[in-house]
Chains A and B, each alone.
Chain A
Amino acid sequence: MHASARLHALHTILSREIRRIMRIWGQTLVPPAITMLLYFVIFGNLVGSRIGEMGGMRYIDYIVPGLIMMSVIQNSYGNIVSSFFGSKFGRYVEEMLVSPMPPWVILTGYVLGALARGLMVGAIVLVIAMFFTRIQIHHVWITLSTFVLTATVFALAGFINAVYAKKFDDISIVPTFVLTPLTYLGGVFYSVDLLPDFWEAVSHANPILYMVNAFRYGLLGTTDVDLRIAYAVMVGFTVVLAFVSLRLLTKGVGMRS
């Protein structure tokens, strides 16, 4: 397959993923909007007004980056895990496996699809946030690069989950028992500086903490972590998970006999 053919193939997967997101918008775009609206109303407005300041700013401002990251993480992961597992379950993954597309094109197409959903949901959450507060982006490139890297990490993680999943239950275990706790403990709603030393140290083992704080720095200019470490964590996870995903796809684990 020459370069332009690969580009057409990539475009095909990406546009198929976007059509899927739009076709089932009631499942892909509306729930995060409602959930985040409730977070802003309850934690931001009602509870936040009593908390006062955090990290030197209004509490509602402080949680905006974390809530956007939370949506991006959950939706990029959820998009790829449900879409790719669905294609395995319905066996139409075979359409791609019997085509001359190289595995990296398939993987990139699905990751871009997950990024697209992350971007859509992130934008929706940002628009909702605008009803409650005013956000000025401090560092555009840090904001964008953190978004892309975080969405990529969780898209790849979702892909690996989908490869190993054998039934629909298997695609909800990781989001429920791993992603949600790590996100809530990843500094979305609080600064880890508030924690006792021991728990603050434990929090630093949570990769989501670095992603949330790098994004918070991009949006608000404040962070609990060293940005160099944050980028090292995000790039490191991206490289390792991309390598594992590609190996699984090339070997056909869970797809070929």
Chain B
Amino acid sequence: MAVPALAVRDLQKTYANGVAALKGIELEVAEGDFFALLGPNGAGKSTLIGITTTLVNPSAGWVEVFGHCVQRDRERALALLGVVPQEFNFNQFETPLEILVNQAGFHGIPRKLARERAEKYLRELQLWDKHAVPSRTLSGGMKRRLMIARAMVNEPRLLILDEPTAGVDIEIRRSMWKFVSAINAAGTTVILTTHYLEEAEQLCRNVAIIDRGRIVEHTTVKQLIAKLDVETFVFDAAAELPAALPEIPGVALARVDGSTFEATMGRAHDLNSVFAALTGAGITINSMRNKANRLEELFVRLVEGNKAA
């Protein structure tokens, strides 16, 4: 049986202030996977990543990276790991080249090879033009890319990205995902946490949703989306809507403004009957779109369900 890239066993963490951040997490991520770890703020994602990278000490349980326990076999486990944290954690007075060469050095990589790799990843992430400027002068998006380059300099087998695109504009975000997808295609296992759920839907094959220190869902992205039984569409009418919206069996209509309304219906419900009813009521539709990302819908439901439980 193949050794998982990440194995988490009965992981618990209670902080000194009494907050129980993790309550017995069990998780496996297969080698080569592009895995999404989702959860609301304070769910325990960063604590789980912190324990995996040894920045947080667990209260109980353990984490293995390719079979090496990060608590007992720290050196071997960390040699296989690259991490992009949520917050900037590099020396802002150093240049990007210095930051990457130093990080390679911390992994025991000889200086010449460290420099070659630093140049390679800075070029791939379009940062080579800035390799000699103090990193404090970089833009937010450049700093995020710098942290990805830094995490890659030891060419890890497992790359953990903790909300790497927070606050990054769409163009840079897309180029970052292109880079990370290529890394994954080349064999690196990637674990991603993000608040942009459409990213998780587009990029990841498997997903775990963590809430209040527990895994509430652990499945494939496809299976998770298959669970979604209703969808909401937003319709823009060509003219002012009538005072009363038509009644359509199996569809709940809700007015948004004078010419916009939402229609919530089962996934199996055909749209032709909806359009026919709207046309019959004298409503001409100019455009329609999905109201929310599908994964987002599920995510909200799971978290709400966990709250109620």
Contacts and interface: CB of A to CB of B under 8 A. Distances in A.
B66 to A, nearest CB: 13
Given A1-B79, A100-B79, 5 more contacts: A11-B105, A12-B105, A92-B89, A95-B99, A97-B53
Contacts of B50: 257
Contacts of A102: 75
Contact of A23 (B77, B93, B111): B93
Contacts of A98: 53-55, 78, 81, 83
Interface residues of A, number: 30
A143 interface: no
B173 interface: no
A82 to B, nearest CB: 13
Interface in A217-257: 252, 255-257
Contacts, number: 91
A8 B92 contact: no
Contacts of B55: 94, 97-98, 252, 255-257
A58 interface: no
B90 A5 contact: no
A214 interface: no
A134 interface: no
Contacts of A13: 105-106
Contacts of A87: 91
B89 A90 contact: yes
B17 to A, nearest CB: 11
B75 A1 contact: yes
Contacts of B108: 1-2, 4-6, 8-9, 100-101
| Residue of B76, B93, B99, B111 ringed by the most chain A CB atoms within 10 A | B93
Interface string A82-123: 000001001110111111111000000000000000000000
Contacts of B54: 97-98, 252, 256
A256 B57 contact: yes
A90 B92 contact: yes
B91 A99 contact: no
Contacts of B81: 98
B85 A94 contact: yes
Contacts of B78: 98-100
A100 B82 CA distance: 11
Contacts of A5: 107-109
Given A23-B93, A92-B90, A12 B57 contact: no
B111 A8 contact: yes
A129 B56 CA distance: 50
B196 interface: no
Contacts of B110: 8
Contacts of B57: 252, 256-257
Given A87-B91, A100-B78, A256-B54, A95 B106 contact: yes
A8 B105 contact: yes
B138 to A, nearest CB: 15
Nearest to B88: A91
Q: What 4 A-B pairs come out closest when comparing CB atoms?
A: A5-B108, A12-B105, A99-B106, A91-B89
